Amino acid sequence: MKTAFKPGNMIYPLPAVMVSCGENEKEYNIITIAWTGTICSDPPLCYISVRKQRHSHAIISRTGEFVINLTTEALVRATDWCGVRSGRDFNKFREMHLTPETGQIVKAPLIAESPLNIECQVMEIKELGSHDMFIARVVAIDAEEKLIDKTTGAFQLNHCAPLAYSHGKYYGLGEKLGGFGFSVKKKR
């Protein structure tokens, strides 16, 4: 039996990512985002949604760049802390002992401790209500070399305990249940 529930965002779990922004070390900032995802694979496009009041909103709006840094269980404390503290009041890199690194293309810093950094350039900002959506082109990927399968070239994020966010809580991922297409794959 089902019951009526108030309309809202119920698409969970989501990735919990740390988005870094800023053109120089003085303004570098990190914001934790769960409203993020893929829009298109060719060309590679993604989005983040940010409240206008957030410190990072103004930085990203002005610079037109950001980096999506994937998070892991080892980064859960920093992920949460960067989501509840403002960059107006804290240097989040210093406070969380994170290392800013230079990317391939964008001026926004990568977070060295993240296993995968997605460098993004904003194409469009859509004002949607409580959040603005930054639609961005993926211009570079910086991947932890040890997580790239030498045979297939595939990135193996599952080997570094990625984080998921669901209804205000962080979770690690469980066991693999199948791979894409497993339900129709012919048995040998």
Q: All domains of the chain, ordered by start, with CATH? A: 14-172 (2.30.110.10)
Q: Which residues contact 50 (CB under 8 A, 6 or more apart)?
A: 31, 33, 35, 56, 57, 60, 131, 132, 134
What pLDDT does residue 180 have?
Answer: 83
What pLDDT does residue 43 have?
Answer: 97
pLDDT digits (tens, 9 = 90+) for 119-144: 999 999 999 999 999 999 999 999 99
Is the overall model pTM greater than 0.95, yes or no?
no
Residue 96: CB atoms within 10 A of its CB come to 20
pLDDT digits (tens, 9 = 90+) for 67-115: 999 999 999 999 999 999 999 999 999 999 999 999 999 999 999 999 9
d(CA 92, CA 29): 6
pLDDT digits (tens, 9 = 90+) for 35-74: 999 999 999 999 999 999 999 999 999 999 999 999 999 9
What pLDDT does residue 108 have?
Answer: 98
